[in-house]
């Protein structure tokens, strides 16, 4: 599992299918990445569990497809 400190505000979050899921707003409870509301189709924050993250370098790379990430829903 990656360290929560590696994810920084405004990093792009990329799904396993290469699609952009969104942009990091901030970390929520050191276990989830909260995405910017402006990246969501419904204008609400979406959360990506940190356990889904494969690695973080210049992007946050998620081990789920964009569709699977979207199914996690807004919060």
pLDDT at 67 over 80: yes
Using one digit for the tens of pLDDT, what is the confidence trace for 5-43? Answer: 888 999 999 999 999 999 999 998 889 999 999 887 778
pLDDT at 73 over 70: no
**Which domain, by its residues, includes 22?**
4-71
Report the CATH number at residue 26. Answer: 2.30.30.240
Tally the domains of the chain.
Answer: 1
Q: pTM for this structure?
A: 0.88
pLDDT at 2 over 90: no
The pLDDT value recorded for residue 43 is 80
The residues near 15 (Cβ < 8 Å, ≥ 6 apart) are: 21, 62, 64, 65, 66, 68, 69
Confidence of residue 64 (pLDDT cuts 50, 70, 90): very high
């Amino acid at each position: 599992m990656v360290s929560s400190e590696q994810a920084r505000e405004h990093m792009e979050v990329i799904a396993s299918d290469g699609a952009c899921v969104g942009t990091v707003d901030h970390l929520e409870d050191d276990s989830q990445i909260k995405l910017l509301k402006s990246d969501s189709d419904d204008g609400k924050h979406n959360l990506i569990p940190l356990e889904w993250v494969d690695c973080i370098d210049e992007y946050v790379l998620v081990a789920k497809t964009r569709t699977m990430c979207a199914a996690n829903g807004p919060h």
